[in-house]
């Protein structure tokens, strides 16, 4: 079997060496035309291009990477980075969906929690515009990450969504639950079929209405996602629903990881029609076991047989039922009540396979190939129908903690409404150094080649200076001359113009920077050594130059705009007026202070005379005297302590 390591085409260019690994565990691209995009760099450890199915790989890595939906081609080259384009939250399971008669992208987006999420479904058109969001309905929690898909056979009018609903529950009924002294908490596995345009609930199913928690294989506190059942923040997830499918008869197929079971449910009343695996299996499994599974899907069904696929994790991270995880194709014989594994697909690792304790999926492609996402390990693979691996790619390495809930492969046509991005560079701005064009167009799938134009003036005229085939996400072209202005034009396979970039001014480094540049670009700045540092922003910037909100107070180093003569005269007049008002205010305060002092002295003399003559009650004199003493102490900065009234009066008399 041919094994081939595929490197990003950008790495083949000396000037794009900085697009290499920027860390050891989660390598990301650096594009000169789009430095804001930090897309994971795929490592293709195996590729047989003549055998892979056509289409684009769609995935949404999260944790220690820019989260969001991404699209890659069969060579592992980035096609579209959706990180941040529809919000800052985590995305899961991007895939194509037929909405109102046209192909769209569908995926979940929301807030990630331990083992579940809260959010909504997103429907995005081929221009990468969000045309609809879909929320769960009712009085319960918001929808969960494990399933958001447009319902099969609904013509894109309804969507299937999982909901993880915490609720109080009496767990004293079974000693295995280990909660015997009060009310416990569980997570109820819920799914809804929602009418997209109205939000109306077409169908709802709740696990506690049909399956008792005692049937679980995952008891409280046994895994990192099960919860201990003691509080509303740590409810026991006894069920863990993680996929929904619907057949043409209107019945449903769901997978429950913590029950180690796949169920067929009646679309009329939600009753269980059959159970594969689990505590009460309908079928005898002739040649396989499974546990902690994901992503159950119908392939075909008739009165006597059902064929389905699912991803068998065979592990929950703490216990396992097999050495490795697999994708399975299973045939159910409803006459003999048997279930037989007819195909299995494993990871093409040198050890013979790989065990993933969470997440993962299996997808049968139109040509019969099979796509597998390896869940907690951010890898994906493609296999021919007989099991031969023809593609194996790593989005990040194991130590990165990056995960991918599901990855898929679908045909896709992307027509972004944005313009291509261009960056141009010349080392010395003379003919000897020439110049380089770097161009990309995030999300465009129909580009075959690029035209490049240049001019000495921004207003033109522009001359065609080169054409080159599109290579990877960012295409590079050298021009053996130098011009100040340029733009790029995307062409389709027939040579038709798709869109032009904005006109870009060529970057030329300063004389100082030029020593760190080559013919392709300039190198990264290195951290300054302590002995070479001339400026320490933490010790040398004056405190008044710093702003709590924005860092530097820009008024400290940006000059104010010059004033006109009229503005200057008005400002001088206002300053003089303010000065005059301040002088008058100080004089008024002084006069009032002197007047108050004289008045108080006269009042004290009158009181003293009346006291001697007996005309004033002693208690009143005492109160006045206390006030006087307190004011004096305050003015002298001393603490006033009141003593016995009789002693104080007798001392004074």
Per residue in 41-96, pLDDT (tens digit) is 999 999 999 999 999 999 999 998 999 999 999 999 999 999 977 667 899 999 99
Q: What residues contact 492, with CB distance under 8 A and at least 6 apart? A: 446, 447, 448, 498
Indicate yes or no: pTM above 0.85. Answer: no
Name the DSSP letter for residue 147: E
| pLDDT above 70 as % of the chain | 81
Angle, CA 310 vertex, CA 72 and CA 74 arms, to 5°: 15
For the chain, percent helix, then strand, then coil, each to nearest 5?
20, 35, 45
Integer-rounded Cα Rg, in Å, for the chain is: 37
What separation in angstroms does the CA of 332 have from each of 198, 314, 339, 623?
Answer: 37, 20, 4, 101
Query: What size, in residues, is the chain?
Result: 653
- Count other Cβ atoms within 10 Å, centred on residue 265: 21
Rounded-to-integer distance, Cα 451 and Cα 299, Å: 46
Q: pLDDT band at residue 653, thresholds of 50, 70 and 90? A: very low
**Burial, 537: exposed, middle or buried (Cβ in 10 Å; 0-12, 13-18, 19+)?**
exposed
pLDDT at res. 18? 35
| 531 Cβ neighbours under 8 A, 6+ residues apart | none
Map tokens 């004089």 to a residue: 587
Q: What is the pLDDT of residue 468?
A: 98
- Where is average pLDDT lowest: 15-29, 92-106, 533-547? 533-547
Instruction: Enumerate the domain spans of the chain.
Output: 1-112+358-414, 116-282, 421-514
Q: Are the C-beta atoms of 476 and 437 separated by less than 8 Å?
A: yes
Residue 139, φ and ψ in degrees, nearest 5:
-100, 10
Distance of CA 547 to the CA centre of its chain: 29
pLDDT tens digits for range 248-260: 999 999 999 999 9
Number of neighbours of residue 257 by Cβ within 10 angstroms: 27
Burial class (CB in 10 A: 0-12, 13-18, 19+), 609: exposed
Write out the two tokens for 424: 């141009």
Banded model confidence at residue 332, pLDDT cuts 50, 70, 90? very high
DSSP state of 363: E
| pLDDT tens, residue by residue, 398-456 | 888 999 999 999 999 999 999 999 999 999 988 788 999 999 999 999 999 999 999 99
Of 136, 86, 135, 145, which Cα lies nearest the Cα of 112?
Answer: 145
Token duo for residue 177: 């639950």
Res. 23 pLDDT band, cuts 50 70 90: low
pLDDT class for 537, splitting at 50, 70, 90? low
**pLDDT band with cut points at 50, 70 and 90 for residue 599:** confident
- Name the CATH superfamily housing domain 421-514: Immunoglobulins (2.60.40.10)
Residue 612 has pLDDT above 80, yes or no: no
List, in order, residues 6 or more apart from 478 with CB less than 8 Å away: 434, 435, 436, 437, 519
Per DSSP, the residues of 382-437 read EE-TTS-EEEEEESS-GGG--EES--EEE------SSPPEEEEE-SSSSTTT-EEE
**Cis status of the peptide bond prior to 441, with omega within 30 of 0:** no
CB atoms near residue 433 (< 10 Å): 19
The residue-averaged pLDDT of 383-387 equals: 97
- In angstroms, rounded to a whole number, what is the distance separating the alpha carbons of residues 9 and 536? 40
What percent of the chain has a predicted confidence (pLDDT) above 90? 70
Q: What is the pLDDT of residues 461-488, one digit of tens each?
A: 999 999 999 999 999 999 999 999 999 9
CA distance linking residue 442 with residue 450, whole number of Å: 14
In this prediction, residue 1 has a pLDDT band, given cuts at 50, 70 and 90, of very low
At 555 the pLDDT is 46
**Residue 125 near residue 132 (C-beta atoms within 8 A):** no
Task: pLDDT band for 580, please (50, 70, 90 cuts).
Answer: confident
Q: Are 93 and 408 in contact (CB under 8 A)?
A: yes
Crossing angle for the helix pair 618-636 and 645-652, nearest 10 degrees?
90
Q: Is 627 helix (H, G, I), strand (E, B) or coil?
A: helix
Evaluate if residue 38 carries a pLDDT over 90: yes
CA distance 261 to 268: 21
CB 8 within 8 A of CB 40: no
Mean pLDDT of 5-26: 42
In degrees to the nearest 10, what's the CA dihedral of 638, 643, 649, 651?
A: -80
* DSSP conformation letters of 637-652: T-------HHHHHHHH
Give the containing element (helix H, strand E) for 169: strand 158-169
Residue range 368-372: mean pLDDT, rounded: 99
| Mean per-residue pLDDT over the chain, rounded | 86
Average pLDDT over residues 223-237: 93
pLDDT of 556: 44
pLDDT recorded at residue 17:
32
H/E run at residue 577 = helix 565-613
């Amino acid at each position: 079997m041919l094994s081939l390591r595929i490197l990003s085409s950008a790495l083949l260019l000396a000037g794009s060496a900085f697009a290499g690994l920027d860390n050891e565990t989660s390598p990301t691209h650096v594009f000169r035309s789009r430095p804001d995009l930090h897309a994971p760099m795929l490592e293709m450890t195996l590729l047989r291009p003549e055998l892979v199915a056509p289409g684009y790989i769609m995935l949404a890595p999260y944790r220690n990477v820019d989260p969001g939906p991404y699209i890659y081609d069969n060579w592992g080259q980035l096609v579209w980075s959706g990180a941040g384009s529809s919000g800052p939250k985590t995305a899961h399971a991007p895939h194509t969906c037929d909405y109102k008669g046209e192909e769209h992208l569908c995926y979940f987006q929301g807030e990630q929690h331990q083992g579940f999420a809260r959010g909504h479904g997103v429907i995005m058109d081929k221009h990468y515009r969000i045309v609809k969001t879909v929320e769960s309905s009712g009085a319960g929690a918001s929808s969960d990450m494990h399933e958001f898909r447009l319902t099969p056979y609904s013509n894109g009018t309804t969507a299937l969504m999982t909901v993880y609903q915490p609720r109080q529950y009496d767990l004293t009924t079974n000693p295995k639950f280990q909660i015997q002294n009060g009310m416990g908490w569980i997570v109820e596995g819920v799914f809804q079929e929602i009418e997209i345009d109205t939000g109306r609930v077409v169908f709802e199913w709740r696990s506690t209405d049909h399956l008792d928690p005692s049937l679980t294989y995952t008891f409280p506190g046994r895994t990192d996602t099960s919860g201990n059942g003691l509080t509303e923040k740590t409810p026991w997830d006894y069920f863990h629903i993680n996929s929904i499918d619907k057949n043409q008869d209107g019945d449903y197929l769901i997978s429950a990881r913590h029950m180690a079971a796949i169920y067929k449910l009646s679309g009329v009343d939600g009753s269980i029609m059959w159970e594969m695996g689990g505590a009460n299996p309908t079928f005898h499994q002739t040649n396989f076991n499974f546990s902690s599974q994901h992503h159950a899907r119908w392939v075909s069904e008739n009165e006597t047989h059902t064929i389905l696929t699912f991803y068998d994790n065979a592990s929950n991270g703490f216990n396992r039922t097999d050495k490795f995880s697999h994708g399975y194709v299973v045939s159910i014989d409803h006459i003999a009540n048997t279930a037989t594994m007819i195909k299995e697909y494993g990871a093409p690792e040198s050890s013979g396979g790989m065990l993933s304790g969470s997440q993962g999926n299996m997808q049968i492609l139109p040509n019969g190939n099979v796509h597998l996402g390896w869940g907690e390990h951010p890898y994906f693979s493609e296999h021919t129908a007989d099991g031969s691996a023809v593609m194996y790619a790593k989005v990040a390495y194991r130590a990165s903690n990056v995960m991918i809930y599901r990855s898929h492969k679908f045909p896709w046509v992307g027509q972004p409404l944005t313009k291509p991005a261009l960056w141009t560079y010349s080392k010395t701005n003379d003919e000897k150094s020439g110049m380089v064009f770097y161009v990309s167009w995030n999300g465009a799938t129909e580009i075959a080649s690029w035209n490049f134009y240049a001019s000495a003036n921004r207003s033109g005229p522009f001359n065609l200076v080169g054409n080159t085939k599109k290579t990877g996400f960012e295409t590079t072209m050298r021009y053996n001359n130098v011009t100040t202005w340029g733009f790029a034009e995307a062409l389709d396979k027939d040579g038709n113009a798709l869109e032009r970039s904005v006109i870009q001014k060529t970057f030329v480094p300063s004389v100082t920077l030029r020593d760190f540049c080559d013919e392709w670009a300039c190198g990264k700045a290195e951290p300054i050594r302590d002995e070479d540092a001339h400026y320490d922003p933490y010790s040398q910037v004056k405190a008044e130059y710093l702003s709590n909100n924005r860092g530097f107070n820009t008024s400290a180093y940006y000059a104010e705009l010059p004033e006109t003569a009229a503005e200057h005269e008005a400002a001088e007049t206002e300053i003089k007026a303010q000065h005059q008002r301040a002088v008058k205010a100080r004089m008024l305060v002084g006069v009032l202070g002197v007047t108050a002092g004289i008045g108080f002295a006269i009042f004290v003399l009158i009181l003293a005379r009346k006291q001697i003559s007996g005309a004033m009650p002693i208690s009143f004199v005492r109160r006045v005297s206390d006030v006087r003493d307190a004011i004096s102490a305050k003015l002298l900065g001393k603490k006033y302590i009141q003593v016995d009234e009789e002693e104080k009066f007798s001392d004074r008399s």
